[in-house]
Structure 1
């Protein structure tokens, strides 16, 4: 895997290290103000940082339920088959007192979709939820790994046996580096009422 470089998100309010082969999508198309989107220049993997309103107790009874709530909200009501393989607590090395949780899931499209580019057989989703109670914010960090025919070997993958294949293994390294380097520098980024 290529090296990592420090990225300034949201005007420098958040810093994190991302792979040097990933580019800022906002340089080529419009991205919502609440998001930062980075795309692998050499592949199909993307990393999305999304500032969302904190899920409250009426929507989810605890932090792990909030993780699942956000995941369901993200995958939507499509007919795509989704499978959650793993959820666990995570640690932000530079912010160890901030609650964080991780999830690994797959999403298989129900039917071929029209559009540009090749159709993925499935997408692996590595989701991190960062919970900021004092600012009423949940930060979602998603590493999306489309598995496009010809880009991976089906023999390398068996999620039920914890055999994720090289694309997800690479994404796991990216997620781990994000957990190690993610840091909020300016809490003024978050609007509190």
Structure 2
């Protein structure tokens, strides 16, 4: 994994070397950066969101993500800012996602990273090497 520029270079984070920038293929919302594997259905989504004021912000963001598919989910493994979530998604079957949260208090934002088919160790590497280079992104 090598660091890639996100959000016009305002942020950098590691992404697997063979993953493709989905914005080269389809429109992506301004708040997101999406990278897709050319060899599997795996993808990584970086999403800058309004901060969730609740103490358990990770669970709140997991609820938002899983509600998109309107099906139950279960948390397989969890620590303070990361979780492995399994959900049965219509027409896709069981999907396992590593979901991580970085609280960007200086930018008044939450960075949520969703990696389907990722592990907590791999996600921890992304979170630990996620760097904001230009806080003006949040102005």
TM over 0.5: yes
C-alpha RMSD of matched pairs (Å): 1.6
The one of 12, 17, 20 equivalent to 1:15 is 12
Could you tell me how far apart the structure 1 residues matched to 2:101 and 2:79 are? 11
Partner SS for 1:72? helix
Structure 1: state its 5+ residue gaps: 90-100, 114-119, 146-167
Structure 2: state its 5+ residue gaps: none
Choose between structure 1 and 2: higher strand proportion: 2
Could you tell me how far apart the structure 2 residues matched to 1:45 and 1:78 are? 17
8 Å CA contact 2:7–2:33 kept in 1: the answer is yes
8 Å CA contact 2:84–2:120 kept in 1: the answer is no
Q: In the alignment, which residue of structure 2 is the partner of 1:175?
A: 123
Could you tell me how far apart the structure 1 residues matched to 2:17 and 2:137 are? 25
How many residues in Structure 1 have an aligned counterpart in Structure 2? 139
Q: In the alignment, which residue of structure 2 is the partner of 1:190?
A: 138
Query: Which structure has the greater CA radius of gyration?
Result: 1
Could you tell me how far apart the structure 2 residues matched to 1:67 and 1:173 are? 17
Q: In the alignment, which residue of structure 2 is the partner of 1:144?
A: 116
